[in-house]
Structure 1
Amino acid sequence: MTLLVVGASGYLGGEVCRQAVAAGRRVVGTYHANRVELPGVEVRRLDVTDRSAVRTLVAAVRPTTMVSTPYRYDDWTVTADGAAHVAYAAAEAGARLVHLSSDAVHAGRPEPYADDEVPTPVFAYGAAKAAAETAVRAIDPGAALVRTSLIVGDERSAQIRLCLDALAGRAALFTDEVRCPVDVTDLAAAVLEVAAGDHAGLLNVAGPEGVSRAGLGLLVARRFGLDPAGLRTATSAGSGLVRPVEVRLDISRAASLLSTRLRGVTELLTR
């Protein structure tokens, strides 16, 4: 039983690898630019934009299960085309695929988004993630597609680092942009549980609690014992950027399917 984690050099990919190794799985993980050393993981270099290279690696590894996590915020070929190449190789090999998507596919609204809602992206990254979903579903109808939100944890989390930068005056956090942050350990456990099951299609896996980015910054200040008075804030509306503002994910289906408990960000950061 071999698990192939495409994007093992990322924060989530690395945690998926760690938990899978701890469970006794054979794990192969990929990186692109920056090689990583993960205990117990066979590490291979892979460029997901090279369709032939993806097929060759998957044929050599012969995984039973694949978790696809790679993305690049400003690169359509990695985020969209790369996802299609991974899905094609997984289907060709007969491997169970879990593809990681994002709440960025939604435009934003006060009401939570259900699992199966059609993407309504308003910016380039959201459009790339929506295109990736469409490709994966068309190529491999049996694949599971996990839509998640901001991934938090320790200082390796990009979201935590952004909050620390805002507390140090080097960045600003929006007061009007709401998400449902999820802990990296919870998300990785949920992904592995989905991979071991037979759920096909979309599934929201995020935290149960909506919080603004500025609110997340205040929680991070409390967690690290920093002065919240230094937090720089702004509004998405006043920034001139086109971004989804209020995006909450309804995780009731995941709660009924999975044994993994998805903890709220207040609980996570005030322990």
Structure 2
Amino acid sequence: MRERVLVVGASGFLGREVCRRAAVGRQVVGTYHSGDVAVPGVAARRLDVTDRAAVRALVAEVRPDAVVSTPYRYDDWTVTADGAAHVAVAAAEVGARLVHVSSDALHGGRAEPYGDDEPPSPVNAYGAAKAAAETAVRAIDPGAALVRTSLILGEGSKQIELCREALAGRVTLFTDMIRCPVDVTDLADAVLELVDGTYAGPLNVAGADAVSRADLGLLVAERFGLDAAGLKTTTCAAAGLAGPGDVRLDCTRAAGLLRTRLRGVSEFLAR
């Protein structure tokens, strides 16, 4: 087990869960830019990932055995793309194992599921930033694991809150925007397995079920006993949305590689 882990982006939903689970039996340092880490046993350090010198200095000081890179900002290229490159450079300089968290947003959408090794095909700025991040990380550290994941669910997740807003009639969900939602605890456990392993390159790590955002809203209504009558839905085309529609990830490789079982959305929402 790699005992000293640096989690970059530990104030985020996934980063905080990785810290929480890694803190059992490991030394963990978690970085934040805004917000806080607030995980018992985790040393919190403020970091601006767009400042290359600051990233290098912190990693050189901490000297982790492994780095988990989770930071992103939907509308900020410098955080999502440049920040990922800065973290990869710093991790490589100290010889740390790097697990970079990527996204299904780098795919453009199609009728067939995407395999692990398929090249990015972004159709919006965020997807392009995530694709650029992967390209930089792979060039800097060919041994890094790149986790391509989907919508991250769990108590307090923004995806659950979006569904609640839609059920209240305040926002609209898409019937043809299909993803493979993953429970945050499953994803965090998978990331930590990869921290201790040697897998290199892209790996799809997402939930077992493919559902539309509209169907996810219905599942959330059922789970929390909410009235689904007010749910507002539309299609991507009707909304004039340029983002990816049907993006399903084939996680067969991850299922054979990892001990962590990636549950379907119906299963973990039923808890």
Q: Fold-level match, TM-score > 0.5?
A: yes
Paired residues in the alignment total 269
Alpha-carbon contact 2:183-2:265 (below 8 Å) kept: yes
Alpha-carbon contact 1:221-1:227 (below 8 Å) kept: yes
Match of 2:91 in 1: 90
For 1:190-269, what aligned pairs fall within 5 Å after superposition? Answer: 190-269=190-269
Aligned partner of residue 56 in structure 2, secondary structure: helix
Match of 1:16 in 2: 18
* Separation in structure 2 between the aligned mates of residue 38 and residue 264 of structure 1, nearest angstrom: 27
Match of 2:38 in 1: 37
Alpha-carbon contact 1:219-1:270 (below 8 Å) kept: no
Match of 1:63 in 2: 64
Deviation of the 1:270 alpha carbon: 2.5
Match of 1:188 in 2: 188
Aligned AA (2:259): S
* Separation in structure 2 between the aligned mates of residue 120 and residue 249 of structure 1, nearest angstrom: 14
Aligned partner of residue 230 in structure 1, secondary structure: coil
Alpha-carbon contact 2:11-2:34 (below 8 Å) kept: no
Deviates more, 1:7-16 or 1:226-235: 226-235
Give deviations 1:234-268, integer Å, cap 9, x for gaps.
21111112010000000000000000000000111
* Separation in structure 1 between the aligned mates of residue 244 and residue 36 of structure 2, nearest angstrom: 33
Deviation of the 1:36 alpha carbon: 2.8
* Unaligned 5+ runs, structure 2: none
Match of 2:4 in 1: 2
Give deviations 1:205-261, integer Å, cap 9, x for gaps.
001110000000000001110011111112111111201000000000000000000
* Separation in structure 1 between the aligned mates of residue 94 and residue 169 of structure 2, nearest angstrom: 49
Aligned partner of residue 97 in structure 1, secondary structure: strand
* Unaligned 5+ runs, structure 1: none
Aligned AA (2:16): G
Q: Give the TM-score, by structure 2 length.
A: 0.98
Identity of matched residues, %: 73
Q: CA RMSD in A?
A: 0.7
Deviates more, 1:230-239 or 1:38-47: 230-239
Alpha-carbon contact 1:151-1:182 (below 8 Å) kept: yes
